[in-house]
Chains A and B, each alone.
Chain A
Amino acid sequence: MKKLFLLAFLCFSVLSYSQTANAVIDKINAKLLAVKDYTVNANINANIPMIKIMPSNVKIYFKQKDKFKIESKGIVIVPKQGFTELNSFISNKSKYTAVFGENAVIRTIQTRLINIIPNEGAGDIVLAKIWVDVAKSVIMKSQITTLSNGTVNVDYTYGDQISRGLPSVMKFEIDVKKFKIPKSVASDINKSSADKKKASANQKTKGTITITLSNYKINTGLSDALFVKKKN
């Protein structure tokens, strides 16, 4: 009888924690889903090993649920994942189980870790972790591990759009596996074979892309045609 009582208590505890984590996610979802679409100016600053690119200004368009477009004058580099995947994933509660992890302080803000474990057949995401400012119902940090693209960490900073859950700065930390340069293309007269080997050994595997977002225009009724890819 004692054992049965203990088991019931444990089940109740886990269930109540799980519900609480889901409740936190619900609040985040409610905020995010209230934003049907937005247009925002962005400054993209990429600091990635083996890639030299100047910071560039672009315009980002987003429409629920996962329509996303970057409009730029020149070439810009953005993370392959991290913009829409997380929001899209957490909005469908049947796809995952959420459980609380430990507390953490991020930039003096008390946050709660929520581990989001995908249910079977949930797709590319293997594990998602989000650190949530429970008081304001916003994600302060996320870590998404996918089958296809490895792990991406994102730090979020909020400004005047915190009430809608839209960040003002997103800092992506990217795990760049050792890039391989085709030898036939990459002849370099300034480096000896020893220099090249040394450079290859010292190659960093982490990079960051900082996206500073400003001048949000929310719920302006963006057309679906805007997101149709044009052929060059």
Chain B
Amino acid sequence: MLLKNTYNEFIKIVAKPRSYLGFGALTLLIAIIIFAMKADGETIVSFITASFEQTLAFNGKLVNGNLIAFIILQMLVVHIPLLVALVTGDLISGEAAMGTVRMLATKPISRTQIVLSKFIAGAIYTLLLTIWLGFLSLFVSHLVFGAGDLIVLNSDGLVILQEADILWRFGLGFCVAFLALLTVATLSICLSAFAENSVGPIVSTMAIIILFTIIGSLDVTVFDTIKPYLFTTHMASWRSFFEDPVPYDSIYQSIIVLLVHIAVLIGITLYKFNKKDITS
């Protein structure tokens, strides 16, 4: 019954025009970024290497498909949550707004299974969006720029990764990025259980992400104790796969924090939906 209802929920997502907004926006954004990098990629790279170039010379193909894919991921992982929340924030509240929640609850399926099927359908949508992001950023940018070593800038300095040592990092990076987006999807589904319209959960999800991101990016000692518990802090942990050596301990910690967030948010959603008054 759970699988059948999940299928139905996924059909509902597919039938909504807003579900294609995410794919369309991603395609357009990535096309713009690739065009911009093709036109002026050297300037972007010189921004990264500028402080080293007084003493050192960088030889080789710096602007390549791997760098473009990394830049795209870096730029879009911040914005994709909005595209995810646009769909998942509507999953429960949309039913309430249209008045179909009562009909749904009369089906021979428990309320817990209804929530879980919506969660699984939302997760599949998020996964498809992540795969589309991966395909466009890696495949298309490789097609346009070709392969090459990846130059990554982090707070420790520059890390230059060899071409043969990159693809697995992108693979695992996308897995962690998916987990981060799944946390956003779960948050919006959770907020959706509290609302009677779609706009509220979508806007609230983005407001929470913006607030947490600002707290996380402020380089102030007083926030150092809070930062490790904010899910937005761990949304960037896909980047850790591009460090050398890879800090697996901090990645595991991020995965645990994100999974705990997902479990707690699902728990809250289940509690709220099971208690929800659908008669009035």
What class of interface size applies to chain B in its complex with A? 35 or more
Known contacts A75-B160, A78-B56, A196-B219, A186 near B155 by CB under 8 Å: yes
Provide the residues of chain B in CB contact with A188, threshold 8 Å: 154-156
Interface size on A, residues (CB 8 A): 45
Q: Assess whether A190 is in contact with B240, with CB atoms less than 8 Å apart.
A: yes
Q: How far is the CA of A54 from the CA of B239 in the complex (A)?
A: 19
Query: CA of A80 to CA of B153 in the docked complex: distance in angstroms?
Result: 20
A179-203 with Cβ < 8 A to chain B:
179-183, 185-194, 196, 199
Shortest Cβ distance from residue A181 to the other chain B in the assembled complex, whole angstroms: 6
Does B135 touch A at the CB level, under 8 Å?
A: no
Q: Is A75 within 8 A of B59, CB to CB? A: yes
Question: How far, in angstroms, from A72 to B62 measured CA to CA in the complex?
Answer: 12
Query: Given contacts A78-B56, A185-B48, A186-B154, are A193 and B221 in contact (CB under 8 A)?
Result: yes
Q: Is the CB of A192 within 8 A of B58?
A: no
Kindly state whether residue A174 has any CB partner on chain B within 8 Å: yes
**Are A52 and B55 in contact, with the CB atoms below 8 A?**
no
Specify which of B53, B62, B163 is in contact with A80 (CB 8 Å cutoff): B53
A27 to B260 alpha-carbon distance, docked (Å): 74
Tell me, yes or no, whether B205 is within 8 Å of chain A by CB: no
B168 at the binding interface (Cβ < 8 Å): no
Question: Is the pair B220, A232 in contact by a Cβ cutoff of 8 Å?
Answer: no
6 contacts between A and B (CB under 8 A): A51-B158, A74-B149, A75-B58, A77-B56, A187-B155, A189-B234
Interface positions of B (Cβ within 8 A of A): 47-48, 51-63, 148-149, 151, 153-160, 162-163, 216-217, 219-221, 224, 227, 233-234, 236-237, 239-240, 244, 247, 250, 254
With A76-B58, A189-B254 already in contact, 18 other A-B pairs whose C-beta atoms are closer than 8 Å: A49-B157, A50-B158, A52-B156, A58-B59, A74-B149, A75-B59, A75-B148, A78-B59, A79-B57, A80-B53, A80-B57, A149-B54, A174-B56, A179-B52, A186-B154, A186-B155, A192-B224, A232-B63
